[in-house]
Amino acid sequence: MSGDGATGIGAIARAVDDLFWRYTQALDEGPLTEWPECFAVDATYQVMPRGNLDRGLPLATMRCDSQAMMRDRVYALESANFFAARRIRHVLGSVRIEPAAPAHDADAEADSDPDAEADSEAAARWTVRASFSVFETLSREPTHILAVGEYRGVVVPSGEHTGGREPEGQHLPAEIGALVFDELVVVNDTDLVPNSLVYPL
Amino acid sequence: MAPTTPTGLAWGHTTDRVPYGIYTDRAIFEREIERIFEGPSWSYVALAAEVPEPGSFLTTWVGRRSVIVTRAKEGSVAVLENRCAHRGVQLCDAAFGRSNTLQCPYHQWTYALDGRLLGVPFRKGVAGKGGMPAEFNPTENGLRSLQVHERGGVIFASFADAANGLLPFADDLGPTMLEYFDRVFDGRELAVLGHMHQRIPANWKLVFENIKDPYHASVLHVFLVTFGLFRADAPSSTKMDPTGRHSVLVASRPAAPAPTDALANEVSSAKPGMTLADPRLLDPVREFPGDATVVMQTLWPNLIVQQQSNTLAMRQIVPRSAGEMDLHWTFFGYADDTSEMTERRLRQANLMGPSGLVSVDDSEVLALAQRGVEAAVDASALVAMGAGDVGDVDHIVTETAIRAFYRAYREVMGE
């Protein structure tokens, strides 16, 4: 990846930062209904316990196979589930961004050589990784750590993946525009959940 | 004056009162560990599929004690207390692994996978000095080995044996409980899909009772009620073993697709208009004989077997203190499942666990239950729903299984 121009790493980094901002704002400050809007229509989302990941077991604590399934979870949280009032707060570490292979080629994606893909305009997909911690504060209780782990995502330009709805990215280069997750695996190191994992991580 | 017991708890004259002290009292908790979890009972420890090959091992708990489940060379399963015979070190730290022996990190005492002591470094001393006394007998210093029973790919263990009143597993469950157990564990090879773990700030009995309480499911769990997975107007029953320790809650999907107006009026939280944007979240298919679509079984003292639609899981209770327990979920299917069925099970797992669209209601409400009882240890719960019911019933507006559980509990505890 060379240069810091409109389509260089600097511009992409700004777009990824904007996406993480929208994502964590939706979960930490609301409205929760904005959380699915950070994803492509056919995106997948999983909260994956570290123990299952390490042992190659497929079970996720939360699993949404589409943006619609994410909306269902939001609707259940807002209308069906009972849980004590709480607030969560995300704190992210540095974000690593690398060009990703085109979609639906998982093997190539895992083996892709960043330098070889760097100048390919056709890809328009990037893998992103970032450490996170999420703090939880229940009403009239001290704050505790709810989860720590790593985001492993694939991001794409929002235009052709969101069914026409354009997220409001700020100060983003027109060549990239706003990004959305096409895939997000939340690796949760905190295998033993402190009671409940109510909101998505 | 209500009659009191040796611990001073007021159980009342009938079976429909449960004193809150049993959820909060430290001495009672210690007695539960001794009489229930380390007494003559079969605790669930693992699925056989989790220790598939010779050398496979995992660590888990029986009551508060850490145990190691191993598969030895000849294929037999052993359950060993995870405590070195030398100085008491919890010698096995890994949750899962493979090894030919078990070695304590402190002084490298080495054990076979069946618990036999194989080696003690410098046992004979060095250059004629030191070492263990001549009368030290390795065969008397192995890891403590528990009674083990395996049925249908499920492993149970007990610190007690027949001399302390431990019954053979089939007799302990009784024919009705065994029939429901064998319904899921029918001899097919199981395939583990993964685990979830949560630490619930509530007494272990509150979690166990929760599955003996069909009344709450039709009211608290709006998600179940709304999508017809469990409703008060559906055919259902509660059955138990003769002692009342074990029980099973059986329900079918209601014939009418949506809750009736009458039901919606009764249950303020029902959401008749709710539909799923992605119906793949719930696309249950029938896979067991009979009409039952939900079979939730509680097996004394530490297991809940969950079959809700196509999501199957073992929920293992590990008591930590009067006010805290860990719940370990092992989700599974069958080795011969199609990939489509596996995907279905993985999607339906969204209903369960610490993020479950159904079970999050429980972990949240039980934490509040614990807070309520801790502040009022001299008061008691009222479990009078279906007061006339004794034993098995064919409706859900009842707390009969909770009453039966406490009748058995008091007998075991001397309460």
Question: pLDDT digits over B357-372, tens only?
Answer: 999 999 999 999 999 9
Please tell me the distance in Å from A136's CA to the nearest CA on chain B.
14
pLDDT of residue B15: 83
A113 touching B, CB under 8 A?
Answer: no
**Average pLDDT rounded to a whole number, residues B59-71:** 98
Architecture label for domain B175-413 = Alpha-Beta Complex (3.90)
Q: Which residues neighbour B323 within 8 Å (Cβ) at sequence distance 6 or greater? A: B23, B24, B201, B202, B203, B370, B374
Fold of the domain spanning A9-188: Nuclear Transport Factor 2; Chain: A, (3.10.450)
Q: Which residues of A touch B349 (CB under 8 A)?
A: 59-60, 63
> Given an 8 Å threshold on Cβ–Cβ distance, is B357 in contact with A81?
yes
Residue B322, both tokens: 């009067």
> Given an 8 Å threshold on Cβ–Cβ distance, is B349 in contact with A79?
no
Map out the domains of chain A as residue ranges: 9-188
Is residue B297 scored above 90 in pLDDT?
Answer: yes
pLDDT of residue A121: 47
In which band, very low, low, confident or very high, does the pLDDT at B254 lie, cut at 50, 70 and 90? confident
Q: A30: alpha, beta or left, given left = phi > 0 and alpha = psi -120 to 50?
A: left
What is the C-alpha to C-alpha distance for residues B380 and B382, in angstroms, rounded to an integer?
Answer: 7
Please tell me the distance in Å from A116's CA to the nearest CA on chain B.
35
Q: A42 exposed, middle or buried (CB, 10 Å; 0-12, 13-18, 19+)?
A: middle
B365 touching A, CB under 8 A?
Answer: yes
Is residue B7 scored above 70 in pLDDT?
Answer: no
Question: pLDDT digits over B220-233, tens only?
Answer: 888 888 777 777 77
Question: pLDDT digits over B140-181, tens only?
Answer: 999 999 999 999 999 999 999 999 999 999 999 999 999 999
Residue B270, both tokens: 């029902």
pTM assigned to the model:
0.92
What is the C-alpha to C-alpha distance for residues B128 and B308, in angstroms, rounded to an integer?
Answer: 66
> Given an 8 Å threshold on Cβ–Cβ distance, is A49 in contact with B195?
yes
User: Strand pairing partners for A91?
Assistant: A133
In which band, very low, low, confident or very high, does the pLDDT at A2 lie, cut at 50, 70 and 90? very low
> Given an 8 Å threshold on Cβ–Cβ distance, is A65 in contact with B347?
yes
B226 touching A, CB under 8 A?
Answer: yes
> Given an 8 Å threshold on Cβ–Cβ distance, is A191 in contact with B197?
yes
Please, where in chain B does CATH 3.90.380.10 lie? 175-413
Q: How many contacts (CB atoms, under 8 Å) link A and B?
A: 122
**Average pLDDT rounded to a whole number, residues A163-178:** 65
B197 touching A, CB under 8 A?
Answer: yes
A7 touching B, CB under 8 A?
Answer: no
Q: A85: alpha, beta or left, given left = phi > 0 and alpha = psi -120 to 50?
A: beta
Please, where in chain B does CATH 2.102.10.10 lie? 43-151
pLDDT of residue B6: 62
Q: Which residues of B touch A71 (CB under 8 A)?
A: 277-278
B280 touching A, CB under 8 A?
Answer: yes
What is the C-alpha to C-alpha distance for residues B251 and B263, in angstroms, rounded to an integer?
Answer: 17
| A positions 60-79 inside 8 Å of B (CB) | 60-63, 65-66, 68-69, 71-73, 75-76, 79
Is residue A118 scored above 50 in pLDDT?
Answer: no
CA distances from B181 to B149, B177, B178, B235, B295 (A): 14, 6, 5, 20, 10
Q: Which residues neighbour A166 within 8 Å (Cβ) at sequence distance 6 or greater? A: A158, A159, A177, A178
Is residue A165 scored above 80 in pLDDT?
Answer: no
> Given an 8 Å threshold on Cβ–Cβ distance, is B281 in contact with A69?
yes
| A positions 79-98 inside 8 Å of B (CB) | 79-84
B354 touching A, CB under 8 A?
Answer: yes
User: What is chain B's mean pLDDT, rounded?
Assistant: 91
Q: Which residues of B touch A47 (CB under 8 A)?
A: 355
> Given an 8 Å threshold on Cβ–Cβ distance, is B349 in contact with A49?
no
A57 touching B, CB under 8 A?
Answer: yes
**Average pLDDT rounded to a whole number, residues B14-32:** 93
What is the C-alpha to C-alpha distance for residues B351 and B329, in angstroms, rounded to an integer?
Answer: 13
| CATH ID of B43-151, from 3.50.50.60, 3.30.365.10, 1.20.1050.10, 2.102.10.10 | 2.102.10.10
> Coil, strand, or helix at residue B204?
helix
What is the C-alpha to C-alpha distance for residues B355 and B345, in angstroms, rounded to an integer?
Answer: 15
> Given an 8 Å threshold on Cβ–Cβ distance, is B361 in contact with A82?
yes
B282 touching A, CB under 8 A?
Answer: no
User: What is chain A's mean pLDDT, rounded?
Assistant: 86
